[in-house]
Structure 1
Amino acid sequence: MQEDLFNESAGNHRLRERVDWLRQEINRHNHAYYTLDNPTIPDAEYDRLFRELQEIEAAHPDLVTPDSPTHRVGSVSSTQFEPVTHQVPMLSLQNGLAKEEVEAFDNRVRELLGVEQVEYEAELKFDGLAISLRYENGILVQAATRGDGFTGEDVTANIRTIRSIPLTLTLPDNPDVLDVRGEVLMFKPDFHRLNEMQRAAGQREFINPRNAAAGSLRQKDATVTAGRKLNFFAYGIGALEGEKMPETQSAMLDWLVKAGLPVCTERKVVQGINGLMSFFQAIEAQRDSLPYEIDGLVYKVNSLAEQNRLGFVSRAPRFAIAHKFAAQEALTRVLDIDVQVGRTGALTPVARLEPVFVGGANVTNATLHNEDEVHRKDIRVGDTVIVRRAGDVIPEVVANVPEKRPEGTQVFHLPHTCPVCGSPVVRPEGEIIARCSGGWIRCPAQKKNGLQHFASRKAMNIDGLGEQLVEQLVDKGMVNTAADLYALSLADIAGLERMAEKSAQNLIQALNTSKKTTLARFLYALGIRHVGESTARSLAQYFGSMQALADATEEALLEVEDIGPIVAASLREFFADSLNRDLISALEAHGVSWPEQGGAAEEMLPLSGKTFVLTGTLESMSREVAGEKIQALGGKVTGSVSAKTAYLISGQNPGSKLQRAERLGITILDEKNFCELIHHEKSD
């Protein structure tokens, strides 16, 4: 609130205009939230407006009017459902957004009760839809939404479809009347499944679980509600006739459990402000792992007699307060949409935002995921948007606010060329991710990831060349291509952070050792798109030499088992690029080599056409090394036993593959027999 707003010299006229505007905005958002189930601003933004109006009215009582939204809970009911007058009003709670506000609440309660310490029941504040359930003689006869707190909507038919709500109470002697207060909500997994169904049907997705729960409950056709999984938690009693009211809030909830009503188990009786804050910290730490959305906690004086003594103010009880978490959604404006190129070449649109505090941090950027997502949400530069941040999750743009869109905004499209290296951007049919086609050899944005892959255990196996070391080498300009790795000296490496001379010597040794490799490993290390370990082995076995593979036509590539048009086109594109050929030549110049094979087109290898499966633990070698020995002789290694399997190699503690091989009559070799087979085939 700006100070001049309270300054008498600024004039009462300006203040009255502000109050009128705030009331109009709050009423409009109340209608969107409570009646239309289509909120247009985050809770934090609504709370800010509401607090501002409260502060002005507190400072200027002459501006208070009977129809101010500060005297009401929500909006009027929709005309779609029959109105229901609540026997006891369903009022909302005061909000506390900081520890100091909760401390002030505790001080007021202690002062009014004249005690040193108060016992509280601490409960979760669900992000759902408040509901009143009326039971007469143990039978559910009516269910109503909160509405404006005094009159709600009859949603009995839809409530009866929620399986967690009992149609009949389970007490030995049921009360004449029981008015249960609680929350209808949708759990996170059910929310995600619902949105998947909405997408598949080409229908509008729900913004959040609360919106989904409200929209599902307020269906004219109860069968639609029944098809969406909703849940319910009871948290209080509005009216009770023919039964003695329990003495505490905690005992009341225990009694509701005995009556067969679901009550959240995440609740606790605590002592004083320290107990409240300890519970708050504990729940805040596990918030993201809960199966449902909560936006804070509710603290209630545990003694119902003390609750009655404290009573109510105009719109809320004095004996309770809602302690809300830092906002996880907030409103801001999109200043620009940039495109980031990831380590794998994926292009990701990122919204640059007006700074906004959300989820406990200042947010200036938010992911837009991919081009399809931008179009689905229709996010444009200049839009006012809802931004969500939960825990350490990367902030994301949830939705735009159409009514705030300025004129002349443009639909976003990804660029046709990589913004980093200028290579064409490709998006294969059926995929949602567009990528830079330059690869790690050409595109600097992909370089670090490519070098880590090149050095990985199943590629060149350069032990000790991890992520942090690659980061340093690239950032310091010491390594630009994979060939530069083999030009590093002992002094170069020893001069890096956290690299002692011994570690530097080990890395130099690992680099030298890695120079002697296999064609399959080398092909895999190059990071050619669509060429994984298995494909690299097939290519090495078929062509036998790098030159033969590099010169192969697309037709020749298609002759190789498991090579289809997409992989063949990727290979031809890779070897047609002079930069890639130059890298291979540079690596060979640094001493990287592999034994030439004759190639399946010229001669058959000893184990060609034979399929092997490995199970159990081998003593003299790892299963990976055993697989390489088999592949070097032309054999194929698979993970499952079938009628096509020629041999099963069985080590210690074999699994179920051994029993299956025995049933199929597969030849089974122990480690000694396997070594003899390999030695015999090599000598031949």
Structure 2
Amino acid sequence: MSDSSAVQQRVLVLTEQLHHLNHQYYQLDISEIPDQEFDQLLAELQQLETDYPDLALPNSPTRRVGGTITKQFPTALHRYPMLSLGNTYSEDDLREFDERVQKGLEGAPYTYVCELKIDGVAMSLRYEHGQLTQGVTRGDGTRGDVVTANVRTIRTLPLALRPGPDRPEDFEVRGEVFMPLPVFAELNAEREQNGEALLANPRNATSGTLKLQNSAQVAARKLRFYAYSLLTPGRHFTTHSAALEALSRYGLPVSDTWRRCANINEVLDFVHYWAKQRFDFPVATDGIVIKVDDLRQQDQLGYTAKSPRWAIAYKYPAEAARTRLNDVIYNVGRTGAVTPVAVLTPVALAGTVVKRATLHNANQIELLDLRLGDLVYVEKGGEIIPKITGVDLSARPAGAIPIQYPTACPACGTALVRPEGEAHFRCPNERGCPPQLKARLEHYVSRKALNIDGLGAETVGRFFDLGLVVTPADIYQLPARRAELVTLERMGQKSIDNLIAGIEASKQVPFPRVLFGLGIRYVGETVAQKLAAHYRTIDALMAASAEEMAAVPEVGGVIAVAAAQWFQQPENRELIERLRQAGVQLVVTGEAPVPASDRLAGLTFVISGVFEQHSRDELQQLIISNGGKITGSISKKLSYLVAGENMGPAKREKALGFKVPIISETDLMALLPSPEEASLPNDLPESAPLAGPGRQGTLF
């Protein structure tokens, strides 16, 4: 067997094994091997695909992490129109629907299938020979956006189906892409910490995520998918329920909440059951979909111009309550954003007792014309976050005074500022505002940052209140203060031992997580990873200008300015030095990638637009690996502007004004060494014999 054949066989084996392990883990909650072993298998496949790109399969498990970047989505026609369902909020309408079905089937016996109506984004997937080949949004029902790269990042969605004798060779799956409620809550908590506007509900969050241009960002949002329909050119099954069971056998995720119902009374029982139980379901739902089960009977009933006659959606009415607004308090977040929160007379709503509701910002208070003592209407946005939707003006007390947004920080008294273009007022007292200092400590020890065992948010907050820690660097002085810790309540010897061990272990946390843990505004997990990978050391990052940082993929101008300003502050530089002395990781470990050549040494590039053969990230890596530099703005010193499609006219005009050469993707590739040149060692003459086949480069 040739080396190429052996590699191809290994790629196939790894691909099949990883698909199986993903199915077991994400759908059956079975972990067959340790995470480290899984990561090693995935890393091996990634390396093989790097060394032998022609052998990489379209639905490789490595596609799960995303990475494709596009500035616009192509569109595609649906082979089967994605029609909307008729819907109702009335149980009487459901009985009328049942009467129409009975009449249309001329008295023949029939049954229904009831499914939870997931509040997400409808998606059409195409599988050919068991492989996922396309994902298309609903769009206008006739044509939708092709978002295949983004869909491939959904962990619960199989890229390759399980074999089976009844599996069609070419079929479409309809289903709902959604964001689980815990993921949505986590995303909003992170946005609140960063001073960003909260997302209204999981549906909007899902829709916005699917429209992201970078599929790596989509992968980080942890979307999920439930299938609810199978479509083939011919009749492949006799009932809808049989199709759902088949989809599960093929490995597709189908919610196990669906039920067969013998008659309309059983349908209504299902509706009533989920009216309350849905609040314990970890997915946002807004109703029940009822379908005639027999597919031949569906054909007999047919369609109207807009919807099928054999199905209907029952929508649960939005639960609202009226209660009194007693007070408005103002929370100060990690970035200084001041968020108003309504304090309400407790009221039962959507399965919980609501005592508080978000007011978002000063604009919302003004829009609602809120006054203390008002009777207000409260709903749960997407059945998640309580919010005030209106005021009962007929019950407003005489002489009620409009709520005045504070002009000073409620925690430290510093005058608030409202940066141009932002909705939030902010407290600028970063060094002396207690809630900001405490929130930054809590962020530093959080799970996604340093994750210090024995030092959770509650404990570090308590230590802050006692004056034991003020900055993250103070945490590393705690082991030396053991005598003080012993005197504290609930701090026994074992707790202190665990705490000290956790602090010591945190010194091995990789640099990207440390960078994220510093709490720099706008620098989330993904940006921290990108900056750390690009600069590799905290010193190189601190020395970079905002313009240079903005050239790093997925960073951009606003983030770069915030990061550069943070590193310029003496207090933050002192913090870095104290962390360095404590032994915290401030460099990327492992060998740096070996440069491919110095062909572009001394040259600087700006990359703009969309390219056919490479993503912008890939082009940047090619330039850097061959000795070139990337910058984010055009100046007289720029060597080349690499222009793709949809590049902004302002950049082109500026480049022409400075007489900067504008080159295409093809022109750039011509500047790089040929594959034969690239394979030559840098310290050997061109006549030196080439090394045999093998892995090249380092995987990080």
TM-score, L = length of structure 1: 0.44
**Larger radius of gyration between Structure 1 and Structure 2:** 1
TM-score by length of 2: 0.43
